[in-house]
Amino acid sequence: MTVLQIIQPDNPLLRRQALRVSDFGDEFQTLVDDMTDTMIEAEGVGLAGPQVARSLRVIIARLPDNDESREAYGEDAGLLYVLANPRVVWRSEETADGVEGCLSLPGLLGEVERRESIEIAGQDRWGTPTRLTVEGWLARVFQHEMDHLDGILFIDIATRVWRPDAAEALASDVTEA
């Protein structure tokens, strides 16, 4: 497997709407594996196809798998989610502000309001239709990644963006996706 280059906003592909996944064959399976390796190597919790210069509507997400995460997120900790062609089919009225970062925007954090819970319809890595209902931090990760599929970066919708000092970056509960 391969660690892919994560592109930054100077690459116009990051700002384009991604194309629908229609072929779930070997090339797509390799992409999903490579995206997973890339996300883990970069210590992120999510990654979208456009972030690795692939204009495909595919996202992956994986919350950390450590004692603290298992206590906070239960069975979601460490579980890898792969969704192709995801779309939100339901969203809660409740929202929450949270701090987000992005693997494509290293060194920046932002305060972003997101829906607290969402239901997503899409396809798994083999093309089988699937639906997920997620809440809290995992819902934030999915919404962040799905924005990438439409060329939206968290800095576009943040109420505040800043460069953290080293202590803040280590101490904060940040979604790095």
Q: CA-to-CA distance for 163 and 83, rounded, in angstroms?
A: 31
* Pair of tokens at residue 104: 């494509």
Q: Which of 106, 111, 88 is nearest to 176 (CA)?
A: 106
Assigned domain for 5 exists = no
Assigned domain for 109 exists = yes
Q: 146: pLDDT confidence band, cut at 50, 70 and 90?
A: very high
Q: CA-to-CA distance for 110 and 112, rounded, in angstroms?
A: 6
CB 45 within 8 A of CB 8: no
Assigned domain for 141 exists = yes
First to last CA, the chain: 20
Using one digit for the tens of pLDDT, what is the confidence trace for 12-48?
999 999 999 999 999 999 999 999 999 999 999 999 9
Assigned domain for 30 exists = yes
pTM of the predicted structure, to 2 decimals: 0.90
Assigned domain for 40 exists = yes
Tally of domains in the chain: 1
Residue 172 has pLDDT above 90, yes or no: no
Mean per-residue pLDDT of the chain: 91
The amino acid occupying position 50 is P
Residue 177 has pLDDT above 90, yes or no: no
Using one digit for the tens of pLDDT, what is the confidence trace for 51-87?
999 999 999 999 766 555 555 555 665 689 999 999 9
Residue 173 has pLDDT above 80, yes or no: no
Assigned domain for 147 exists = yes
Q: 171: pLDDT confidence band, cut at 50, 70 and 90?
A: low
User: Catalytic annotation on 27?
Assistant: no
Domain containing residue 49: CATH number: 3.90.45.10
Assigned domain for 4 exists = no
Residues pairing with 48 in the sheet? 59
CB 116 within 8 A of CB 95: yes
Q: How many residues does the chain have?
A: 177
Domain range for residue 20? 12-176
Using one digit for the tens of pLDDT, what is the confidence trace for 95-108?
999 999 999 999 99
Tokens 């204009």, located at residue = 55
| Other CB atoms within 10 A of residue 177 CB | 28
- Res 88: pLDDT: 98
Q: Give every strand in the sheet of 109-115, ordered side by side.
A: 160-162, 109-115, 95-101, 175-176
Q: 174: pLDDT confidence band, cut at 50, 70 and 90?
A: low
Q: 176: pLDDT confidence band, cut at 50, 70 and 90?
A: low
- 76 vs 135 pLDDT, higher one: 135
* Helix, coil or strand: residue 156: helix
Q: Which of 68, 75, 94, 145 is catalytic?
A: 145
Assigned domain for 70 exists = yes
Q: How far is CA 24 from CA 12, 38, 53, 148, in A?
A: 25, 20, 18, 20
The DSSP symbol for 6 reads P
Residues pairing with 95 in the sheet? 115
Mean pLDDT of 130-144: 96
